[in-house]
Amino acid sequence: MTTSEVATLAGYEAFAPSLLVEKIGGAHLIRINRPETLNAVNEDVHEAFAGIWRVLENDEDVRAVVITGAGKAFSAGGDMVMFSRLIEDPDARAKQIADARTVFLEIINFSKPLVSAVNGPAVGLGCSIALLSDLLVMGEGSYLADPHVAVGLTAGDGGAAMMPLLVGMIKAKEFVLLGEQITAQIAKDVGLATRVVSDDRVLEEGLALGERLASLPSQAVQSTKRAMNMHLSRAALGVLEYALAAEYTSFSTPEFKDRVAAFRARSNRS
């Protein structure tokens, strides 16, 4: 079945076509659904991510969630056309920053187990969502990357707030300041990845883990997850507020504007 043939689950139609939700076995599967852009995050995807977690939280049928990307990528990062609009529209930018805060808080406070099945690149917000998951499956050819700084933005929606807690400050600064790709093998070596499997088995393994989590006693798994995430939320929230405010300012800098313009010019030539 192709992604275009997937019928989104009843109750989740408001998030389609950006996010498609179906139930496979005991797990609810979310597909980021812009495969023609490698699932780059535009305003619709961003807004859907801000709203879907509360619906999943309140759905008593949801016991575990697996998220992946349609096609060849988890998410290639922010959509450059969207970035151009945010440079010119401060109100839209303010909404985007508010939604970024909501996404981070909703995921970190989401009580049900969340598995990311990373197929291909997971960049920017995609990287943040993967790292906020409880379990992370990566294909051998996949990678994580937070290129905020490299394109001229403060790493506001996850990298600066989360990465030091996950890998320590020195490695976090390498990954976030340089924005280099974190291959699946590196992610496994530094403790970011739960499993690394062949690229054709990523979703299969993610769903298998989702099934295992869904079969656990729900009160025990949810309360234990909440307890462990308290370490993250208490350490990260103050950093998040500063970083998002600084990211809003970054959109007005000449460096960011120049990088977006150069990227779009290259895309138009290709």
Residues 28-66 pLDDT 10s: 999 999 999 999 999 999 999 999 999 999 999 999 999
**Cα–Cα distance for residue pair 37/17, rounded to 1 Å:** 14
Residue range 236-247: average pLDDT? 94
How many other CB atoms are found less than 10 A from the CB of residue 91? 8
Q: Is the pLDDT of residue 2 over 90?
A: no
Both structure tokens of 118: 């990373």
Residues 196-239 pLDDT 10s: 999 999 999 999 999 999 999 999 999 999 999 999 999 888 99
Dihedral (Cα; 161, 131, 32, 257), 10-degree rounding: 40
Residues 155-183 pLDDT 10s: 998 899 999 999 999 999 999 999 999 99
Query: Which parts of the chain are beta strand (E)?
Result: 19-24, 27-32, 65-69, 114-118, 121-123, 135-139, 143-145, 182-183, 195-197
What pTM does this model have? 0.94
For the chain, give every domain's residue range: 13-268
Q: Which residue from 154, 6, 135, 146 is spatially nearest to 75, judged by alpha carbons?
A: 146
Strand 182-183's sheet: what is its strand order? 121-123, 143-145, 182-183
Q: Which residue from 157, 55, 64 is spatially nearest to 102, judged by alpha carbons?
A: 157
CATH of 13-268, one of 1.10.20.140, 3.40.50.300, 3.30.70.20, 3.90.226.10: 3.90.226.10
At CA 15, angle to CA 12 and CA 20, rounded to 5? 75
Residue 207 and residue 25 in contact, taking contact as beta carbons nearer than 8 Å? yes
Q: Which residue from 170, 158, 176, 174 is spatially nearest to 237, judged by alpha carbons?
A: 158
* 117 bridge partner residues: 137
pLDDT of residue 266: 87
**Cα–Cα distance for residue pair 79/98, rounded to 1 Å:** 18
DSSP letters along 74-113, please?
Answer: SB--B-HHHHHHHHH-HHHHHHHHHHHHHHHHHHHT--S-
Dihedral (Cα; 35, 200, 194, 173), 10-degree rounding: -50
Tell me which DSSP letter residue 17 carries: T
Dihedral angle sign, alpha carbons of residues 9, 10, 15, 17: positive
Residue 227 and residue 220 in contact, taking contact as beta carbons nearer than 8 Å? no
Give the confidence band of 17 by pLDDT, cuts at 50, 70, 90: very high
pLDDT of residue 158: 83
Residues 59-110 pLDDT 10s: 999 999 999 999 999 999 999 999 999 999 999 999 999 999 999 999 999 9
